[in-house]
């Protein structure tokens, strides 16, 4: 534990005015000095995108007054870069992303702006945690989530995180009474079976909406999806080296 | 090797009219039946973003006539989903992404739309390869690249790829005479030291451009950056399970 109050950067992908980030700021401010840098509009599904073809806008926001806050046109990953290099001019002691409206369990970590911000934090060497609630409801109840967030922040401040690792924390949408506890586990190999809804605009030209079903292909124990279904919050330690080390030797034999 | 000509999906992130994708289509068409589904405008740095807040437009394009081609407003990952679920209505036998104008070695794989399309292909169970050339020049010379692309496609058609693995192939910007060969290796742990260029618009309001330097922090042998510097193309087997298995046991002891 640090002697001084830790500096905590809070971001998300649902935008600076979402209920999820308000719940996260509320809990985070019990642990340290909070600075918020978040997108000015929803950026779900932005993955690890960065803004390189357009200029980025950055404005102060009084939405969390007296907590210092900024809203930006950038992506969640841009928020982390802006915070470290343009606003704080130092690395925060902790980065918290979320609370996301909707699960980021399993392979959703790749599509998630919320989790990509946490991964970017890990790349910057900042202890980073992404939080997601299994409900897309914009007015969802975050009471159980706030308890989980508090417990996980406490654990990370006490134990630290190993270099290159952030946490992907997903929280089931259950009441405090039905909440079973927290499990550390791996990410399930589950995938989207996509569909496109085809419609016509006012000029008769087609356009598509991406939709689909999320299918858990392995149904194994000790995955995030397994525990979430049973009323537990899941913590998946998450890293950013995408090298497939198992395949490395096989491929070397090709040459 | 298949008896019939393989169905090859080609995509990228620089857009359907870039020189890189034209070079890739030229080589791919020697190996099978090619269908192109690519963004209608540059989408570099889009990472694993998907379009969920906006409708997606999709148009046929005669740019590769007589090869079937589509241009879309979607991201590179959207291109893969559109191709499989809306255009081909089946999984192609091979997915090729690129040739990217600019390196996607090391941790750039996370920011890269080109590589995210290949990763999405792996998630769909499609043998997938992303190709990138170490030059941002829009009129770069792709002659060495075309040779590498041909060799790697041949290797993958002969050997197959293990499930959940795609290839991140980066090619040095050297002449065929200076090209040293192909190395299978892991991704370097190199990171961007970001900066933001601050400017004022015509109304005096500030905006930022993201820029920075890419720094190889480890300087180890047998990484993609190591071999690229020495005139070799690098192949990094790349997977999508971001679970940090090394950290898993440590974290379980927290509970």
pLDDT of A165-204, one tens digit each?
A: 999 999 999 999 999 999 999 999 998 989 999 999 999 9
Mean local confidence (pLDDT), B74-78: 97
What is the rounded average pLDDT for all residues in chain A? 95
b vs e for B148-173, b when ≥16 Cβ sit within 10 Å of the residue's Cβ?
bbeebbebbbeeebeebbbbbbbbbb
Contact yes or no for B244 and A238 at CB 8 A: yes
Contact yes or no for A53 and B47 at CB 8 A: no
Contacts of B202 in chain A (CB under 8 A): none
pLDDT score, position B80: 98
Contacts of A55 in chain B (CB under 8 A): 199, 201, 207-209
Residue A66 has pLDDT above 60, yes or no: yes
Task: Provide the shortest C-alpha distance from residue A66 to chain B (in Å).
Answer: 24
Under the banding of pLDDT at 50, 70 and 90, the label for residue B221 is confident
Contact yes or no for A187 and B242 at CB 8 A: yes
pLDDT score, position B218: 79
Q: Could you give the angle at which helices B143-159 and B19-28 cross, rounded to 10 degrees?
A: 40
Strands B58-61 and B68-72: antiparallel
Task: Provide the shortest C-alpha distance from residue B210 to chain A (in Å).
Answer: 6
Contacts of A45 in chain B (CB under 8 A): 49-53
Both tokens assigned to A92: 């925060």
Contact yes or no for A244 and B255 at CB 8 A: no
* Interface contact B255, partner A, CB < 8 A: yes
Side-chain-facing half-sphere of A79: CA atoms under 13 Å: 40
User: Which A positions 63-92 lie with beta carbon below 8 A of chain B?
Assistant: 77-78, 81-82, 84-86
Least Cα distance to A152 among B74, B255, B206 occurs for B255
Side-chain-facing half-sphere of B187: CA atoms under 13 Å: 25
Strands A94-101 and A7-11: parallel
Residue A229 has pLDDT above 60, yes or no: yes
* CA A110 to each of CA A86, A119, A197, B47: distance values in angstroms, whole numbers, following the listed order: 26, 10, 23, 9
Contacts of B13 in chain A (CB under 8 A): none
Task: Provide the shortest C-alpha distance from residue A212 to chain B (in Å).
Answer: 10
Least Cα distance to A105 among A84, A128, A134, A81 occurs for A134
Task: Provide the shortest C-alpha distance from residue B47 to chain A (in Å).
Answer: 5
Distance CA A118, CA A45 (A): 14
What is the rounded average pLDDT for all residues in chain B? 95
Contacts of B44 in chain A (CB under 8 A): 52-53
Contact yes or no for B208 and A236 at CB 8 A: no
Residue B39 has pLDDT above 80, yes or no: yes
> Which domains does chain B carry?
7-188+220-252 (3.40.1210.10)
Do A187 and A251 meet the contact criterion of CB atoms below 8 Å apart? no
* Interface contact A247, partner B, CB < 8 A: yes
DSSP B94-109: EEEEEEEES---TTHH
pLDDT score, position B144: 98
Determine how many CB atoms are found less than 10 A away from the CB of residue B128: 28
> Could you tell me what percent of chain B has a pLDDT over 70?
99
User: Which B positions 134-173 lie with beta carbon below 8 A of chain A?
Assistant: 155, 159, 161-162, 164-165, 168
Strand-pair partners of A191 = A215
Asked if residue B46 has a cis previous peptide bond (ω within 30° of 0), the answer is no
pLDDT score, position B3: 57
Burial degree of B127 (CB within 10 A; 0-12, 13-18, 19+) = buried
Q: Residue B225, SS3?
A: helix
Do A101 and A133 meet the contact criterion of CB atoms below 8 Å apart? yes
pLDDT score, position A13: 97
Distance CA B100, CA B214 (A): 17
The model's pTM = 0.94
Residues contacting residue A85 through CB under 8 Å, at least 6 positions apart: B194, B195, B196
Residue A1 has pLDDT above 60, yes or no: no
Reduced DSSP (H G I as helix, E B as strand, rest coil) percent helix, strand, coil of chain A, to 5: 25, 30, 45
A88-141: pLDDT as tens digits: 999 999 999 999 999 999 999 999 999 999 999 999 999 999 999 999 999 999
| Nearest CB to A123 within list B107, B164, B198 | B107
Mean local confidence (pLDDT), B74-87: 97
Contact yes or no for B45 and A51 at CB 8 A: yes
Distance CA A106, CA A182 (A): 16
Strands B33-39 and B68-72: parallel
| Nearest CB to A52 within list B45, B119, B207 | B45
Least Cα distance to B57 among B35, B36, B41 occurs for B41
Burial degree of A128 (CB within 10 A; 0-12, 13-18, 19+) = buried
| Nearest CB to B53 within list A44, A237, A250 | A44
Contacts of A78 in chain B (CB under 8 A): 210
Residue A2 has pLDDT above 50, yes or no: no
Pairs of residues, one from chain A and one from chain B, whose beta carbons lie less than 8 Å apart: 222
């Amino acid at each position: 534990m640090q002697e001084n109050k830790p500096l905590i950067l809070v971001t998300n992908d649902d935008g600076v005015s979402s209920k999820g980030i308000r719940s996260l700021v509320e809990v985070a401010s019990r642990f340290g000095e909070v600075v918020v840098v978040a997108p000015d509009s929803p950026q779900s599904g932005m993955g690890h995108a960065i803004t390189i073809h357009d200029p980025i806008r950055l404005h102060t926001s009084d939405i969390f007054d007296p907590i210092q806050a900024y809203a930006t046109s950038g992506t969640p990953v841009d928020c982390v870069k802006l915070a470290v290099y343009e606003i704080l001019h130092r690395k925060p002691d902790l980065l918290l992303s979320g609370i996301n409206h909707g699960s980021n369990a399993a392979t959703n970590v790749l599509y998630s702006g919320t989790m990509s911000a946490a991964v970017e934090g890990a790349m910057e060497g900042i202890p980073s945690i992404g939080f997601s609630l299994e409900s897309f409801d914009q007015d969802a109840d975050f009471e159980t989530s706030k308890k989980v967030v508090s417990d996980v922040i406490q654990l990370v401040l006490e134990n630290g995180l190993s270099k290159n690792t952030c946490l992907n924390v997903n929280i089931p949408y259950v009441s405090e009474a039905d909440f079973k506890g927290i499990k550390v586990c791996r990410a399930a190999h589950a995938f989207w079976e996509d569909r496109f809804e085809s419609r016509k605009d006012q000029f008769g030209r087609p356009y598509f909406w991406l939709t689909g079903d999320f299918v858990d292909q392995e149904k194994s124990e000790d995955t995030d999806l397994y525990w979430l279904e049973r009323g537990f919050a899941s913590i998946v330690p998450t890293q950013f080296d995408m090298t497939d080390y198992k395949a490395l030797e096989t491929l070397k034999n090709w040459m």
